[in-house]
Amino acid sequence: MNILQNKKVIYTDLKEIEYLNAWELQERILNSIVDVKLKNKRTRVDDPLPTSNYFLVVSHPHIFTLGKNGDFHNLLVSENQLKEIDAQFVKTNRGGDITYHGPGQIVGYPILDLENFFTDIHKYMRYLEEVIIKTLQHYGIKGERSKGETGVWIDAGKPFARKICAMGVKASRWVTMHGFAFNVNSNLSYFSYIIPCGIKNKAVTSLEKELQHKVDMEEAKLLVKNNFAEVFDIEWI
């Protein structure tokens, strides 16, 4: 059966949305794509249905999320303290350890059928990193990869290395969900309540902190969108 690759991606900016609502939406979209793939496999028709791709951009109210293999001890506050700082905590099914989401952050959730692109999760993660690295270049900042540590860093490998974008994904039948959290105008004090990504003694930063001024969120979103299209060689719909 010859599957027609579809490299068109549906882009949606959901603005601010509760984390659990976004998670549920991702699951629904992923399952709909998987259903198409299973139907194609069962019927083995000569003209299979193409699968769709999505890219959701959101921000969330204050929340800490723990990956499926993460260490709960990397959350440094109690349930009562979470209430005091107006934050939630949830265990999720993505990869990676603990991270923070909140206002001033660009959270990207690509829900892609990687069989439309390439079936390589390692390559997929490097492409996501490249999107953020290219975005940082626009602001005169050198984003880098850190060996063995997923995400985008500034001054990687140096004593004052600091992370500006965390990443964690899940894939089912080569369909992705979850994604990246890019600190633009984030309140960095919330990272003091966790051991970010389970990595001790390394700082977290934001575009605002690096540039010493607030950043236009809509401009930053557009840069991420354009760089995603370039890196993944896709067409927006």
pLDDT digits (tens, 9 = 90+) for 158-206: 999 999 999 999 999 999 999 999 999 999 999 999 987 777 777 999 9
Decide: helix, strand or coil at residue 65.
strand
Give the integer Cα–Cα distance in Å for 91 and 97.
10
Q: Which domain holds residue 38?
A: 8-236
* Catalytic residue flag (residue 197): yes
The total number of structural domains in the chain stands at: 1
Give all strands (DSSP E) within 4-154, no chain letters: 8-16, 54-59, 63-66, 88-91, 98-101, 105-111, 143-146, 149-154
CATH number of the domain enclosing 27: 3.30.930.10
Residue 212 in any domain: the answer is yes
Residue 33 in any domain: the answer is yes
Residue 2 in any domain: the answer is no
Residue 95 in any domain: the answer is yes
Residue 172 in any domain: the answer is yes
pLDDT at residue 45, rounded to an integer: 66
Residue 104 in any domain: the answer is yes
Residue 119 in any domain: the answer is yes
pTM flag (> 0.85): yes
Around Cβ 109, how many Cβ atoms within 10 Å? Answer: 22
Of 66, 87, 166, 197, the catalytic one is 197
Q: Which residues contact 34 (CB under 8 A, 6 or more apart)?
A: 172, 173, 175
3-state helix, strand and coil shares in percent for the chain, rounded to the nearest 5: 35, 30, 35
Residue 1 in any domain: the answer is no
